[in-house]
Structure 1
Amino acid sequence: MHALSIPTWIIHVSSVIEWAIAIWLIWSYGEVVGNRAWYAFSLAMLPALISAMCACTWHFFDNAKSLEWLVMLQASMTLIGNFTLLAAGWLLWRSTRSPVMRSHSKISSK
């Protein structure tokens, strides 16, 4: 646990808590507006949360050599999270386009 200073620990832990709260708030917003694309967006945030938890866990155990696999898992979850957020953002964007815009884009693509 000595791998990070107290202020750095505060930032790490508060970031994980903020991210978890953001996931819950985005899911709740999706329920309020009735748009399921917000659910997908909140689920797409989970790999980034896992990535942050991997980093905190590794630092908590003083960057132990036996837990170096967490670094690879963190990097993988960051990469996967970037792609899931990209896909969810695109899905959200498509879901908020007006029906007029959707029909216009279908006509112009013919």
Structure 2
Amino acid sequence: MNALSIPTWMIHVSSVIEWIAAIWFIWQYGEQTRDRVWWGLSFAMLPALVSAMCACTWHFFDNPQSLEWLVTLQAAMTVVGNCTLMAAGWWIWRSRDKIADSETPASTPKEV
């Protein structure tokens, strides 16, 4: 555990806790609104959480060569997480676009 200083550990651990809380709050928002796009966003956040946990685990054991595969897994989960978050953002954007279209009143024919 000597690989990182205490303040750096505090940042790492608090970031993971904050990410877990964000996932939970977004899920709860989806529950309240019954809007699936928010559930999708919370699922899309999971690969980034796995990435962060890989980094914390590797540092916790003092960055040993035997756990070098965690670095590769972290990198892969970062890429996957970025892609899933991009897809979730696109899904949210598209759903808002559809809501805006459905709220626009249909044009009425003009009287002659």
Cα separation, partners in 2 of 1:54 and 1:98, compared to 1, 3 Å? same
The residue correspondences of 1:4-83 to structure 2 (distance < 5 A) are: 4-83=4-83
Structure label with greater radius of gyration? 2
Provide the rounded CA distance (Å) in 1 between the counterparts of 2:42 and 2:53: 17
Where does structure 2 lack aligned partners over 5 or more consecutive residues?
105-112
TM norm structure 2: 0.88
Following TM superposition, by how much is the alpha carbon of 1:97 offset from its aligned partner in structure 2, in angstroms? 2.0
Q: Work out the percentage of aligned pairs sharing the same amino acid.
A: 67
CA deviation string 1:31-82 (max 9, x = no partner): 1111101000000000000000000000000000000000000000000000
> Which secondary structure state, in structure 1, belongs to the residue aligned with residue 11 of structure 2?
helix
Q: Which residue of 2 aligns with 1:107?
A: none
Count of residue pairs brought into register by the alignment: 104
- Provide Cα deviations, 1:15-36, integer angstroms capped at 9, x if missing partner: 0000000000000001111110
Measure how far apart 1:92 and its partner are: 0.9
Q: State the TM-score, normalizing by the size of structure 1.
A: 0.89
The whole-number CA distance in structure 2 between the counterparts of 1:13 and 1:80 is 22
Give the AA of the match of 1:79.
Answer: V
Please give the root-mean-square deviation of Cα atoms over the aligned residues, in Å. Answer: 1.7
